[in-house]
Structure 1
């Protein structure tokens, strides 16, 4: 009995539901359009087509037009954030047709689009169901868009800004280059070999280009683009039968290798570039890939313009439906002196090393050189894998940017070590130390010096003759805590406030000095101490500014003489160190920096880089110097492997003197 009651309840419930459904009102045209609009906003075109569009729409346009074409346009034009807002419906007694107003808004790659649309709905039977259905046509996509029309997406490339030196000379600019190609069907085997040799590519690669599916006899097939500096090669190519040359715009770098690490180069944007820019960059767009081209890319690149047009089948002029205006890139003037950069690079003669020159009165950077360099146009115009492998495997590492790195500064640290002791009142410059021989040991730690220093072994002679033992002993008296505080006051362990990202200088790997041995080693620029070349030059400003380090600047629009560090040495002590630095060159060991044209003052430094178990290692030679009579340029330079031919750091002093002499003549 209980079982029968349950079955009856279920049956009764089912009957009730059936009666309820049968009595429900059909949705109104407005309600159907509201449901359709929600799907439209979600871009669910499959469901819109299956359940909401009229039979006429399906017959006239089909899935390919309604679904596939619409989805393709959405993807290509990056249509998103669709919003459909209903308007006030007009009064109508028509039970078969309605015309309901909506406002359509959405975003595109070319900007926002907004238009009003009267949506036609028809009441008809589909799949045995009577309901309201949308009479769709292409004008739902864009206002006045018709079946025979076409959508055109235009991109206007922004003009890239130039990088300009302080004398208004271009460091990176857009110039007229040459696109070299061949006419299909007109190049014989002999000519092909000549072309391959001049292009530095294989004949097979030329065959591959000529056999592309789109190539037909008589067509121009591009092979390589050259910058203006390669005009001589272009003329040789142009003289070969079957070769054609077209002028084209290219990014050019007038100072070539000399500014390659500083300025960098541009190249096509990768998928990762596009992603990191939040799609502000388009795939294939030319963007900065290295150097200041990359650092200042947002300003230099500008913003490409984009427009969406309807090409009407019945009129000549297209209709613009969305447009983002092109915004050309900004020209940026640097504090760099291009000619001095070039001459400094040439003075270094391709040897691995790094150099910078700073105006100590303002902090403006005049040169920033990493040697050897590379030809940036090779990368901008497309470098072959063979050529890239050659550069990558070169033992001198021409692709390594050395001025962003940090190196053990050797004895160039000694004047700075002295400044810390003097400032703390823990170094008496007149105190003479009693030091015998070339070696001294403290708690099992050995300190050596190259030569014996003439008596008295005071601060002056210790600087002039670069006495490691003096600095080890005097810095022990200063103490690790005071010395560490002094180094931090000079900017060690701190981000260098510079437009070009640099590695910070370090006292040690963990920023501390944990033993007397480490303290002594650090006092003369060894141990775990590493110093960036820009920071090294900036720190030497204290001897010319009586204790102030200015923030190094690279852009002409930056404020100069911005104090980074101050009160690092007294006026009297700075004057004393200046005399010592002059005597380093003119009263100590014979140095190539002692030239008649310039009264060079400065300090040498040699950092030995020994591997575990080695008794003798590679040596980096340093010199930081300036013209004592006209201290308007402070030059710091490091050359690697100065142990070769026993050149040592004196060799580097001669190179810096040449740079100062060249600057004097400008």
Structure 2
């Protein structure tokens, strides 16, 4: 009896151990979930039930899941479930089937997706174990991918392109807008009896080759009755009627980027172009594709991120004979409108004064710092870049000796004598120049001794009696400023220039080269120091900074930070206490006399008073008489004092005297 009891106890223990070692639905589904979270799709298929494997091939199930995941950019996948209780496990073991709810969370290119579903597991023979061994397997179906996806359903990705933001001037006038243009194309079946002749006419009018047209017409999707787009053109093109009279040629209205100011604002506004393969290596692949446009040059490039906006993306479940179901969606974000402080009327009027001459100009409000115009001449029409019919536009631009592709307002140049009011105010501040106190200057040249070698500073006219600051400004006396700079010394003059913003980053939204004192940032050579005092040597300025340096004379000694966007705070002080009221009044009085009695008499042509300073920058290193010269004028309306225009005209040596002064005066007359 005792032996029987011991044997029975042993069998109970053995049975208990066998049940304990047998896999449960929890264990098997945990294996499946682990493979799922680790994206081990091939191992997931090994856990399918016989029925599931017979119903869905590996391609129809786990490989389909893998493909969908890759297409919709799945990341951060997290599949979880709550294990069955002991009581539920007992029922499952007895019935041979179990149902386990599970949750799925994942990120996609259209945002997060989460859902809950149920997995059914069944017991069946385990072919990898003994014949009598059983295990649990998953009854997989398409709901494991997404519950709303049916067997013949598809996952579709739909993108919505944003509208590019527009660029406006201070008065809401357009600088870059999205407007109606015409897309010209051919319907091949309508080309008529002589298609080659028709294609040649189209090619001639659109500035294309017939080979390019043939390539478009021979694309795989083309059919005789389909419209094949060739080129976009502006609605005002004069050749449109002739073009549309050709058999087979049609037009469609589309939206395109248009630049109403044309060449007057190209360097400031820029334009858009097609995205290149090089661009795609660095751009966000979610936001840019080979068919997109991107800002090139100017504000279009500078504010590309804001103007571009963000594409909208939707992931849709498309089941047969049913409406699409939105699985995930990121709404489209249209680009933002950029509103500038630029006044397009002022911009165009200043640009037009250049005519065929090369140069640059800036117009600013001296009290607020608002930039009213930034001009570079010559220029080119951005509309021609996008829609023009020249077969070699860029070649023509690059061969133009006037260099129309160069943005001159972002560069620096020797300012010549327009720097003299700044030199004067520096001298007044450090005491090396005293109002009304003159110095004797004899002859047209001056040298400070043997250390200068053969070099001499030259002035344009002799003086009668002592020369003070007012007389030196009116007659633009180089020797006066050279002597005063040498007298105050390099350290004092350099400090004064730095007080006016030299040798530091220019605080402006648009990238503009900073003004510099010299290539080294120092004036450790006396000749270099003397030349810098009247805007020669190695001293260089950008035109906007130059305009701003005159603001302290009109704004209680303050040089405000220049602004470009209406969203910026105006009137922010960049540099303060640059000149006293007494000194500012003295310099303003002299700048008025420069026009009435001095070198800027051309400015008297206006029917209102103008004040300002002329300058000529000689682009040579010696006293040689040869070399190009750039003409400068910085001026403002004497009474209103609401705008400063700084202008440089290149290569004025063989042109009429005071050309820059005349152009600034013409601009003020047109503006006022």
Match of 2:609 in 1: 599
Q: Which of 184, 191, 202 is 1:195 aligned to?
A: 202
User: What is the TM-score normalised by the length of structure 2?
Assistant: 0.89
Q: 2:92 aligns with which of 87, 94, 117?
A: 94
Correspondence for 2:10: none
Distance in 1 of aligned mates of 2:442 and 2:81:
97
Q: Does 1:449 align with 2:458?
A: yes
Q: Could you tell me how far apart the structure 2 residues matched to 1:474 and 1:327 are? A: 60
Name the SS for the 1:584 alignment partner: helix
Distance 2:366 2:409 in 1: 19
Q: Which residue among 367, 370, 374 is the counterpart of 2:380?
A: 374
Q: Distance in 2 between matches of 1:27 and 1:642?
A: 95
Greater C-alpha Rg: 2
Q: Provide the rounded CA distance (Å) in 1 between the counterparts of 2:600 and 2:566.
A: 39
**Match for residue 110 of structure 2?**
110
Deviation at 1:473, TM superposition (A): 0.7
1:124-176 deviations in whole A, cap 9, x for unaligned? 45663564343333322222112211112112222222222222211111111
- Give the secondary-structure state (helix, strand or coil) at the position aligned to 1:65: coil
Match of 2:142 in 1: 138
Summarize the Cα distance change of 1:590–1:341 in structure 2 as closer, same or farther, 3 Å threshold.
Answer: closer
Which stretch of the first structure deviates more once superposed, 541-550 or 33-42? 33-42
CA distance in 2, matches of 1:646, 1:372: 17
| Cα 1:278–1:435 shift into 2, 3 Å | same
Partner of 1:635: 645
Q: Distance in 1 between matches of 2:51 and 2:650?
A: 80
Equivalent in 643, 658, 662 of residue 654 of structure 1? 662
Distance in structure 1 (CA, Å) of the matches to 2:105 and 2:143: 13
Distance change >3 Å, CA 324–CA 382, structure 1 → 2: farther
Equivalent residue runs for 1:433-512 within 5 Å: 433-442=439-448, 443-444=451-452, 446-455=455-464, 456-512=466-522
CA distance in 2, matches of 1:336, 1:139: 58
> Is residue 337 from structure 1 mapped to residue 337 from structure 2 by the alignment?
no
Offset from partner CA, 1:588-640 (integer Å, 9 cap, x none):
23643231423221112222223899863332222111111221110011122
More divergent stretch after superposition (477-486 vs 451-460): 451-460
> Partner of 1:7 in structure 2?
none
Distance 1:641 1:58 in 2: 84
1:216-365, aligned counterparts within 5 Å?
216-230=223-237, 232-270=238-276, 278=284, 281-283=287-289, 284-315=291-322, 317-365=323-371
Moved more, 235-244 or 289-298: 289-298
Counterpart-to-counterpart distance in 2, 1:564 and 1:344: 26
Farther-moved stretch of structure 1 (599-608 vs 236-245): 599-608
In 2, distance between residues paired with 1:603 and 1:497? Answer: 25
Maintained 8 Å contact 1:178/1:234: no
Question: What is the TM-score with the length of structure 1 in the denominator?
Answer: 0.90
Query: Deviations 1:499-518 (Å, cap 9, x if unpaired)?
Result: 21222111122322222122
Aligned to 2:540: 530
Tell me: CA distance 1:117–1:588, structure 2 relative to 1, closer, same or farther (3 Å). Answer: same
Structure 2 CA distance for partners of 1:99 and 1:603, relative to 1, 3 Å:
same
1:544-578 Cα distance to aligned partner (Å, 9 max, x none): 11311111111222221111111000111111111
Partner of 2:11: none
Partner of 1:431: 437
- Tell me the distance in 1 between the aligned counterparts of 2:264 and 2:30: 66
Preserved contact between residue 379 and residue 405 of structure 2 (Cα < 8 Å): yes
Report the secondary structure of 2:107's partner residue: strand
SS in 1 for 2:512: coil
How far apart are the structure 2 equivalents of 1:361 and 1:167?
19
Q: How far apart are residue 111 of structure 1 and its match?
A: 1.0
Unaligned regions of 5+ residues in structure 1, if any? 1-21
Mapped contact 2:635–2:645 kept (Cα < 8 A): yes
Q: Closer, same or farther in 2 for the Cα pair 1:612/1:553, shift >3 Å?
A: same
Check the 8 A contact 2:205/2:389 in 1, yes or no.
no
- In the TM superposition, residue 395 of structure 1 has moved relative to its aligned partner by 2.4
User: Equivalents in 2 of 1:127, 1:383: separation in Å?
Assistant: 74
Write out aligned runs for 1:407-426 (5 A): 407-426=413-432
- 1:373 alignment partner, SS class: coil
Q: What per-residue deviation string (whole Å, max 9, x for no partner) do you get for residues 413-466 of structure 1?
A: 111111111111221243333333333223225233252232332212221222
Distance 1:119 1:594, change over 3 A: same
Q: Deviations over 1:3-53 (max 9, x none)?
A: xxxxxxxxxxxxxxxxxxx9993543323333332332333324433x444
Partner of 1:514: 524
Q: CA deviation at 1:350?
A: 4.2
Contact 2:265 2:375 in 1 (8 A): yes
Superposition pairs of residues 14-53 of structure 1, within 5 angstroms: 25=21, 27-49=23-45, 51-53=46-48
Contact map agreement 2:270 2:300 (CA 8 A) in 1: yes
* Conserved 8 A contact 2:360-2:409: yes
SS at match of 2:171: coil
Aligned match for 1:73, one of 65, 68, 84: 68
Does the CA-based 8 Å contact 1:549-1:566 persist in structure 2?
Answer: yes
With over 3 angstroms needed to count, the CA separation of the structure-2 counterparts of 1:83 and 1:340, relative to structure 1, is: same
The residue number in structure 1 matching 2:214 is 207
